[in-house]
Amino acid sequence: MADKRQHLTAHLNDLTKRDTCIAFSGGVDSSLLLKLMTLSAKNHGTNVYAVTFDTVLHPKSDAQSAKRVAMETGAEHYILTIDELERSEIRNNDKRRCYYCKKTLFEKLIAFAANHGVDTIIEGTNYDDLSQYRPGIQAVRELNIHSPLAEAKLTKEEIRSWAREIGLSAAERPATPCMATRLPYGTTVDLDILKKIELGEAFLRELGFINVRLRVHSDIVRLEVNQEILSDAILKKDEIIQKLKDLGFRYITLDLEGFRSGSMDDINEVFD
């Protein structure tokens, strides 16, 4: 772990000798990067531009959280508003949706950086991400975006541990992947279903289900929560059913396998 931290710190110290941009979601990965980058940049007298994508595929609360964390680090914070659904491959939830989405977002960020005289862009892919189905990583590489956490082989838990040590408020923030991950590939993504998912998951978090996903399969919604609190979902079933039906979901199911990141990326669904 000490070697990984030293590797990352040295790499960021080198990158921040010039002005830099970071794709900043406000999650633990990009928050740790941003904090370390601002410390290094201060020594060099350079600027760090923290850029958050405000998109239709993410809850509005994500941009608000990013703004709060950016203030903690003292970085210059900017928000780029982007509608990914303008691109058909994303709207139609192509199996390589993540590739097209990342390419769309980072092309916008490259243009932003160029307008600010910056040619070094950083993002928060971690080492664990490399072992999952993440076609967006290909787009990041094609566009020559730096991924220092992955290069230093830092895992998600190692990143959380470091973030806790330095007192980042994002240390315990759960992952918030785009809401298109709640739909099977090939299912059209529209604003109506995205809003229902956003409101439904927000309600469930209010009930205490922090790691939660509403996976939508036509008129069936499959609720994922951590396995150790499956019984809590049963106890609160009446509240859950009422709210989700009010939102327009017809059949409400509880996934007995519990919460698992990327469950829509089942190997058969992705590669059939």
What would the 3-class secondary structure string for 104-167 be? HHHHHHHHHHHHCCCCEEECCCCCHHHHCCCCHHHHHHHCCCECHHHHCCCCHHHHHHHHHHCC
Whether the CB-CB separation of 112 and 80 falls below 8 Å is answered with yes
- The tokens for 5 are 């931290």
pLDDT at 272 (0 to 100): 41
Q: What is the mean pLDDT of residues 82-93?
A: 94
Amino acid at 119: D
pLDDT tens per residue, range 23-52: 999 999 999 999 999 999 999 999 999 999
List of domains in the chain: 2-172 (3.40.50.620), 179-271 (3.30.70)
CA distance 53 to 235: 37
pLDDT tens per residue, range 178-192: 999 999 999 999 999
- Percent of the chain exceeding pLDDT 90 equals 82
pLDDT at 31 (0 to 100): 95
pLDDT at 1 (0 to 100): 85
Q: Taking the model in full, what pTM does it have? A: 0.90
Q: In which order are the strands placed within the sheet that holds 220-225?
A: 212-217, 220-225, 251-254
- The tokens for 91 are 């709207």
Backbone angles phi, psi at 63, to 5 degrees: -65, -35
